């Protein structure tokens, strides 16, 4: 089956791997290890695997829905629920993506404000980043995926884990399987926000060349994200005592303090600045997807809708003042993401299956 867009705007199925792992592995990985470890202690790695498995099932469901209907989510909403209810659901997705974009951008700016430039005000950096993202998005979906491919450079920072390796306390990992399943599930619940990002598949389905072939690449992307998060959780468990963790806001950035090169004294300048590699792909997609929904719903050009979304995100970012508000936004997004993946998605799947059965019978 071929995609419904013109061939020169489509991407090959392999690039879905690059795209999905860029969407999933966002900059929230810096702070994701504190809460699960508070719940599940040294068995958090089991929660990671559990969560990864759940998302595997989620991707499976997404592909079933999309393959049966052959169109992306706005079209599915329109078909399943009619014009008005579908429009409301599309609008909710627009708001969801704009919120994610604002949160990611503000999170990143806070990191820069704490680690690099203490006197930096929020709005100039937000403005420049949004202008950069606008330039990328105006190039089309292919350019966005190209930026995701370029941001794969960030995996070089895994080598930064070699330096604290001498300080690891492998004893922290035992005793294994000490916690009840309930606690593990709770920890897994707090991990859904970092794993979220697969809903991007809903909106780019028509831009993939041979969509059914891309399914296995999406699974590999999820596997890569699971392995990366496993490494992160293991690193946090091995390096920190559980009592130290509530004092660390961004445990992952602390690893840059261990790096010693003969000619670089403070490596965390490079480490903190390189967080941009995690943020830009998500920002680009979360600006592109709402404009595409606007185009499909209202018929306006994407380039016309972009400046409005730009202004909305900019105001939202400037209105989030401090660290507590960022955490509040993250909690809210965590809840929304959880219900999206574990409530709305199965519901959509069941509706899709019923419709197919009805169509076959009729």
Partner 1 sequence: MNGVINLGNEWLNVQSVPQLWKELSESADFVCYEHLKNTGSVYIGYFKSLTEPEVLQRHILGCLSSHPDISLEDLYVLIPIAEKELATKWDDIQNKLYRGFVAIQYSGQSHPCMLVNAAASKGRSVTMPEIEFTVEGPKEAFVESLDVNLNLIRKRVPHSDLRIKELTVGSISKSRVAVVYIHGITNEQYLNTCIQRIEGVQFDQITDSTLLQQMIEDDSNSIFPQTIGTERPDYVAWAVSSGQICVLKDGSPTAVFAPVNLWLFFITYEDYYLPWIIASMLRLIRMFSVLFSVYASPLYVAVMTYHGQGISNVFLPTIISSRINVPFPPVVEVLIMELVIELLREAGARLPSKIGQTIGIVGGIVLGTAAVEAALTSNFLLIIVALSALASFTTPIFRMSATIRMLRFPFIFAAQIWGLLGIFICTFALVAHLLRLTSLGMPYLVPFYPFRVSDLYDTVIRPPYSKFHHRFSFFRSSKPIRFDKNNANQKKDIDE
- Which residues from 114-143 bind partner 1, rule CB under 8 A? 116-117, 125, 128-129, 132, 135-136, 139-140, 142-143
If one counts every other C-beta atom within 10 angstroms of the C-beta of residue 208, the result is 27
Tokens 């399987």 correspond to what residue? Answer: 177
Size of the site for partner 1 (CB under 8 A): 36
208 φ, ψ (degrees, to nearest 5)? -95, 140
Sequence-separated (6 or more) residues with CB below 8 Å from residue 129: 105, 108, 109, 279, 280, 283
What is the pattern of x (binds partner 1, CB under 8 A) and - over residues 37-76?
----------------------------------------
User: Of 143 and 245, which has the nearer Cβ to partner 1?
Assistant: 143
Cis peptide before 175 (omega within 30 of 0): yes
Give the span between the Cα atoms of 95 and 99, in whole angstroms.
6
11 φ, ψ (degrees, to nearest 5)? -115, 160
What is the pattern of x (binds partner 1, CB under 8 A) and - over residues 269-308?
xx--xx-xx--x----------------------------
**CB of residue 264 to partner 1, shortest distance in Å:** 6
DSSP 313: H
**CB of residue 347 to partner 1, shortest distance in Å:** 36
Residue 105 in the binding site for partner 1 (CB under 8 A): no
What is the pattern of x (binds partner 1, CB under 8 A) and - over residues 6-25?
-----xx-xx----------
Sequence-separated (6 or more) residues with CB below 8 Å from residue 259: 160, 163, 267, 271
- Which stretches of the chain bind partner 1, using CB under 8 A? 11-12, 14-15, 112, 116-117, 125, 128-129, 132, 135-136, 139-140, 142-143, 145-147, 149-150, 261-267, 269-270, 273-274, 276-277, 280
């Amino acid at each position: 089956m071929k995609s419904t867009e013109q061939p020169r705007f489509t991407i090959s199925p392999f690039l879905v791997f690059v795209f999905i792992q860029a969407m999933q592995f966002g900059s929230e990985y810096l702070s994701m290890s504190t809460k699960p470890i508070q719940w599940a202690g040294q068995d958090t790695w089991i929660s990671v695997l559990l969560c990864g498995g759940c998302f595997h099932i989620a991707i499976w469901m997404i592909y079933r829905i999309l393959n049966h209907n052959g169109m992306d989510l706005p079209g599915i909403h329109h078909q399943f629920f009619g014009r008005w209810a579908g429009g409301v659901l599309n609008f909710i997705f627009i708001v969801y993506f704009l919120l994610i974009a604002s949160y990611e951008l503000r999170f990143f700016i806070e990191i820069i404000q704490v680690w690099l430039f203490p006197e930096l005000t929020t709005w100039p950096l937000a403005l420049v980043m949004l202008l950069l993202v606008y330039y990328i998005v105006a190039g089309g979906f292919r350019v966005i995926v190209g930026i995701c491919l370029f941001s794969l450079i960030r995996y070089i920072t895994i080598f930064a884990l070699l330096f604290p390796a001498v300080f690891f306390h492998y004893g922290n990992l035992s005793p294994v399987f000490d916690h009840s399943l309930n606690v593990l599930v709770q920890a897994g619940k707090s991990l859904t926000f970092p794993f979220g990002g697969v809903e991007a598949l809903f909106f780019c389905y028509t831009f993939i060349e041979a969509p059914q072939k891309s399914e296995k690449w999406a699974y590999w992307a999820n596997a890569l994200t699971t392995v990366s998060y496993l490494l992160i959780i293991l690193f946090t468990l091995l390096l920190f005592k559980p009592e130290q963790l509530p004092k660390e806001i961004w445990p992952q950035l602390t690893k840059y303090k261990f790096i010693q090169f003969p000619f670089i004294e403070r490596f965390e300048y490079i480490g903190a600045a390189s967080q941009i590699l995690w943020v830009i792909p998500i920002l680009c997609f979360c600006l592109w997807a709402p404009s595409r929904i606007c185009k499909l719903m209202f018929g306006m050009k994407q380039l016309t809708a972009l400046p409005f979304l730009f202004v909305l995100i900019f105001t939202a970012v400037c209105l989030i003042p401090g660290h507590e508000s960022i955490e509040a936004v993250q909690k809210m997004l965590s809840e929304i993401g959880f219900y999206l993946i574990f409530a709305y998605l199965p519901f959509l799947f069941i509706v899709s299956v019923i419709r197919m059965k009805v169509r076959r019978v009729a």
